[in-house]
A and B are shown apart, each in its own frame.
Chain A
């Protein structure tokens, strides 16, 4: 990611155009962080102000506030500009409190673990 010169402003891959904008940052571990971009560098290290994690489980979601975050660039998958005049999420999704989304996350994790362990038991039986 190069530092843009004045002639590069329109065709640069610099994150400078995203400064002070509300962004969605996707991380390699699947987390979705939202916040205002305050700083960045050539490694895509990023400083987000007023960051929150948007946790989505099925049709439920919750924004968990995190504060001022420095994100190491190697964890960054994608940085998306959130259009202010567009709905950030489909209308059928419900905002729930943090405690409820944590419960839903745990339930989803347990279901995945159960599926995994059931599969392991089936593998032993050697079905094709």
Chain B
């Protein structure tokens, strides 16, 4: 639940999602769910020439199970807050 809550805070920010098949997509985080499925808007593929089929895709749904990384803006992370929330979860769990 921690990462779900955390991503909900990031809705509206620009992120780059790198998938397990090496495809990387930059876009605005539209929504996230309990499986960490992600919906991105205003998407652009990072290496467009390598993925011509993605040319007209401007918003997409990404299955949580295929995400390798979610790259965040450095000012998007309040590390202290995250750290505290994690310690609380660890204590409670």
Residues of A within 8 A of B (CB): 1-2, 11-13, 15, 18, 24, 26, 28, 30, 32, 44, 54, 56, 73-74, 76-83, 86-90, 93
Contact = CB atoms under 8 A, between A and B. Distances in A.
A114 B37 CA distance: 39
30 contacts: A2-B33, A2-B34, A13-B38, A13-B39, A24-B54, A26-B21, A32-B53, A54-B53, A56-B52, A74-B65, A77-B23, A77-B62, A77-B63, A78-B61, A78-B66, A79-B61, A80-B54, A80-B59, A80-B61, A83-B56, A83-B58, A86-B55, A86-B56, A88-B53, A88-B56, A89-B52, A89-B55, A90-B52, A90-B55, A93-B52
B57 A18 contact: no
Interface residues of B, number: 29
Interface in B14-72: 19, 21, 23, 25, 30-35, 37-39, 43, 52-63, 65-66
A1 B55 contact: no
Contacts of B35: 1
B11 interface: yes
B60 A12 contact: no
A18 B61 contact: yes
Contacts of B30: 11, 13
A105 B43 CA distance: 29
A3 to B, nearest CB: 11
Given A28-B21, A30-B21, A56-B52, A13 B32 contact: yes
